[in-house]
Structure 1
Amino acid sequence: MAVNFVIREYSAFDEESGISILRPRMLPCEQPEGVGSIEYQYELSRQGDLVGGLGLLGDEHVDRTSGHPVWTYTLNLTLGRVVRDILRLKPIFGSEEADPVFLESIARGLVMSFAGQTTNSEDLRYVALTRRETLIEEGLVDRLGNALPYEDEVILADVLVPARIA
């Protein structure tokens, strides 16, 4: 079965498995390697019961080049450990997707968990990133087959949440 998330107010929901990825708890963190300044703590639930979790790092920055600020929050999926943690979720989804497709599906769910926001006064962008090297090291290829992107940074998923001013 394929994992396909739809936007809910505080989550991304996969109808086939009945699993929601809830909007994560976001905590400030200091990493000596400069890997991230935000710790994202995700919960996965089915009918209110916790069925899984995922923790990862990321960061934020503001882009003012378009004339109005866009806050970009990056989810760092460049560590092999994080990719392996995501792939370990396949059984709870009952997924038979190939690993690279499942990774992209979950990355979409992670960023989509933010898309139902209705009270943001500025544009927000959420991006799930990995690296070409990580995909190679973990034995994954992109959905186009054996051809990996040439660029080192690979965007697995992103979503823009426009400002909603009441």
Structure 2
Amino acid sequence: MTQDGGRPVHAYVFDLRQPQVILAMLRYKQRLGSVDDDFTYLQGLAQGFAMSFAGRTGNDEVLRYLAVTNAEALMESQVPVPANVAKWADGSIVLAIVDVAVSGG
């Protein structure tokens, strides 16, 4: 549970900081027909994971779904890290973030 602008936000994290997870995701790239570079492909797939929860209802607090990785895991997976990518203080790189608004409860 975190706070965002004084309101409670329940955060769920897809932890993609293990090279074997990234490599498993990349194995499907060709099968899915993606022509994006590896980093962009991973961002899109992570966004899809996070978006799959966007239709949740009945929550009485904001829900936040994040997919995170780090430069080390990407480098070990031979995925170049774009120079302009934002990193959190702990080195995490957010690939996707989706907030689900309060919808009753």
Question: In structure 2, how many angstroms separate the alpha carbons of the residues matched to 1:95 and 1:65?
Answer: 35
In structure 1, distance between residues paired with 2:100 and 2:15: 19
How high is the sequence identity, in percent, across the aligned residues?
35
1:73 aligns with 2:15: no
Say if 2:39 is the partner of 1:100.
yes
The 1:121/1:137 distance shift into structure 2, 3 A limit, reads same
Cα shift at 1:119: 1.9
User: Residue 80 of structure 2 corresponds to which residue in structure 1?
Assistant: 141
Greater helix percent: which structure?
2
The match for 2:49 is 110
Find the counterpart in structure 2 of residue 124 from structure 1: 63
The structure with the largest strand share of the pair is 1
Residue 92 (structure 2) aligns with: 153
Give yes or no for contact 2:86–2:93 (8 Å, CA) kept in 1. Answer: no
Contact (CA 8 Å) 2:62, 2:99: kept in 1 or not?
A: yes
Structure 2: which 5+ residue stretches go unaligned?
Answer: none
Alignment of 1:84 onto 2:52: no
Normalising by structure 2, report the TM-score. 0.85
Runs of 4+ in structure 1 displaced over 2 angstroms?
Answer: 64-68, 148-151
One-letter code aligned to 2:21? V
Shift of 1:72: 0.3
Q: Return the TM-score normalized by structure 1.
A: 0.56
Q: Residues of 2 paired with 1:117 and 1:123: CA distance?
A: 11
The Cα shift of 1:118 comes to 2.2
Structure 1 residues 149, 115: closer, same or farther in 2, change over 3 A? Answer: same
Alpha-carbon distance in 2 for matches of 1:113, 1:65: 22
Higher relative contact order (Cα pairs below 8 Å, separated by 6+ residues): 2
* Shift of residue 95, structure 1, vs aligned partner: 1.4
How far has the Cα of 1:150 moved from its partner? Answer: 7.0
Aligned residues: 102
The aligned counterpart of 1:38 is: none
